[in-house]
Chains A and B, each alone.
Chain A
Amino acid sequence: MNSVFRIYTFFALTLLLVTLAFGLLATWAFLYPEAYNRFLPFYQLRPFHVSAALFWIISGAVAGVWFYKKEEFPKIRVSELLANTFMITWMLTILSIFGCYAFKIFGGREYWEFPPILCLPLLTAWILLMVAYYIPWYKSSRPKPLYVWMWSTGIFFFFITFIEQNLWQIPWFRYSFLREVTVQWKSNGSMVGAWNQMIYGTALFLMVKISGDASIAKSPKAFFFYFLGLSNLMFNWGHHIYNVPTAQWIRDVAYIISMTEFLFLISIIQGFKSKLDEQRKFKHLITYRFLIAAEFWVFMNLLLALGMSIPAVNRYTHGTHITVAHAMGTTIGINTMILLGSFTYMLGIDNKTEYSKRVINVFYWISQYSLGIFWVTLIVAGIIKGYRTTVLQMDNFNEIMKPVFQAINILSYAGIGLIIGLGTISIIYLKEIIKKKQRILEYNNNIN
């Protein structure tokens, strides 16, 4: 178990490095297509980047859930065996997916560009994970804190949305293009909510451990926001397809549900003062720093998401780089920060020497500033494209994009900053996984 899990965490973190490397290459291919089209065209680089990012987030989320769940559930041998089989199947399938991309073998759709047959081993692996997780979950008689609810919800809804994502393979779903595109983005949107449940659950678990206050995972307020998040997972995906001439009520439901996100925003603003006190207490912990960075990016991306969720505003932002800013802001700013916090905790980085922590801190800040520039540049690029497309009603794509390319050029430099920041932290952590495997071993032994 321990060695398979160690390889799995190593693999997950390597996916982050792959994401960063292919992201930068794809940006250059976007800016200089003539130079790249012969060897590594954009349409080949983008799937590498997107799939690596997607699998980094999902794999990293599962790594956290599997590592921390030992504190909550009894250890069952069959469950460990199933989890190992999940991890091995999952990793081998991802490698096969990259193999397909290397030979330009595609066949899927947005975010899942690989041949759909590879969804079968992914689904099989996930079912194994579900069995491995839910058997001890069912057998545990302890009252379940909120983070366990969140992990369980995330694992279950990933399964549901993954199946929904593949419904297009049933001919009936393709008899209408509008149905096809609606179901595709319904599942994509909800799937993001599913992995967010797993990741936010881990963030809550870490906060309980750092603060030593278990009540934060049991309070009625926490449960209220959990259910609000769950409602958004289920029904807040419509902003992806506001412009698609599908049934009107789909747009209206999505609009109403998305506005409930204001409650998250109000809650963050209300909790600002207590966060400052909390920060003074825990700022020496690298784990906490990643969590607080994620909180900052939650706030920034909520502002953006709320704007984009108003259909009248979405008319300007849809199909522009503002959507990309939101995607990057959430996947890097929120998901990656929490996952790196989780890896920090798992690897015991907070117990390292002050010098080591200072080094990580330097690259942490390089990451934050680079992401800030990256995010703002994408918003600027999106505003330019939205203005030229929707306000000026320009039709010529090359004319629309001319000033956008200048913004993307700046973005590529911020991308280098992200590689330096997040890449170095990842390499430090990868070395830790190789070097300090005993931390995981000790942890497992203590739990046993």
Chain B
Amino acid sequence: MARIIWILLLLTFITSSWLIYTRCDEKNISGIPDEHVKQGWKVWQEKNCQGCHQIYGLGGYMGPDLTNVASQKDKGPIYMKVFIQHGTGRMPDFHLNDSDVNDLILYLAWIDKSGKSRVPASAVEWTGSLDIKN
């Protein structure tokens, strides 16, 4: 009996995994990343930006969440460029070249298009669930 339950659960796991891989983002609003975005993504990983910053609230707590920094009022590409190129008291200067800085900004702009990190109060349903429209 236990073996049957185990196998049934495993089959459900495999099916749900497949559905998640193929159906979790059918619209793909931000589109397929171009070479600049991919390069920016690589810089993000190689400099371990995730160690200090969050995307969708996931990551380190040293710096702010950067999911929507590209479209935030008073911020945007120039603001980002100054921060990345010079650092701050809390953030070290990584001495990135112009090309890497621009690619990093393009990567963050690409993420920004995928949705909003902060969930508005209006998204809360009576069941306690969230209805997030992309």
Which residue numbers of A lie inside 8 Å of B, CB to CB?
30, 33-34, 37, 41-44, 46-47, 106-110, 113, 149, 164, 173-179, 181-183, 185-186, 223, 227, 230-231, 234-235, 240-248, 250-253, 255, 310-315, 318-319, 321, 324, 389-390, 395, 397
- On whether the beta carbons of A106 and B48 are closer than 8 Å, the reply is yes
In the complex the two chains form, is A177's CB within 8 Å of B45's CB? Answer: no
Assess the A397–B33 pair: CB atoms within 8 A: no
Interface on B for A, CB 8 Å cutoff? 2, 5-6, 9, 12-13, 16-17, 20-21, 23-26, 28, 30, 32-33, 38, 41, 45-52, 54-65, 72, 89-92, 110-111, 114-119, 123-125, 127-134
Query: A402: shortest Cβ distance to chain B, in Å?
Result: 13
Shortest distance in angstroms between A118's beta carbon and chain B's nearest beta carbon? Answer: 14
Q: A178-B114, A251-B129 are in contact. Are A246 and B124 (CB under 8 A)?
A: no
CA distance A107 to B50 in the complex (A): 11
Q: A182-B24, A251-B130, A255-B128 are in contact. Are A315 and B119 (CB under 8 A)?
A: yes
What are 26 pairs between A and B in contact, CB < 8 Å? A33-B91, A43-B48, A106-B45, A106-B48, A164-B17, A175-B32, A176-B25, A176-B28, A179-B24, A179-B28, A181-B55, A181-B58, A182-B20, A182-B25, A223-B2, A227-B2, A230-B6, A235-B13, A244-B115, A244-B132, A245-B116, A248-B131, A255-B127, A312-B124, A319-B54, A319-B117
How far does the Cβ of A179 sit from chain B's closest Cβ, in whole Å? Answer: 5
17 more CB-based (< 8 A) A-B contacts, given A43-B51, A248-B132: A33-B91, A43-B52, A47-B48, A113-B48, A175-B33, A176-B114, A177-B33, A178-B25, A182-B24, A234-B12, A245-B115, A250-B20, A251-B130, A252-B129, A311-B129, A312-B125, A319-B58
Most central of A43, A183, A241, A251 by chain B CB within 10 Å: A43
User: How many Å from the CB of A183 to the closest CB on chain B?
Assistant: 7
Min CB gap A49→B, angstroms: 10
A43, A149, A174, A389: the one within 8 Å of B62 (CB): A43
A234 CA to B17 CA, complexed, in Å: 9
Query: Considering the chains assembled together, what is the distance between the CA atoms of A313 and B46 in angstroms?
Result: 34
Asked if B129 and A183 make an inter-chain contact with CB atoms under 8 angstroms apart, the answer reads no
Chain A residues whose CB sits within 8 angstroms of the CB of B128 once the complex forms: 255, 310-313
Say yes or no: A234 contacts B24, CB within 8 Å.
no
CB pair A234–B13 under 8 Å, yes or no, is yes
Q: Is the CB of A149 within 8 A of B20?
A: no
Most chain B beta carbons < 10 A, residue from A149, A183, A227, A246: A246
Contacting pair A324 B61 (CB below 8 A) = yes
| Chain A CB within 10 A, most for which of B26, B49, B57, B111 | B57
The distance from the CB of A362 to the nearest CB of chain B, in whole angstroms, is 33
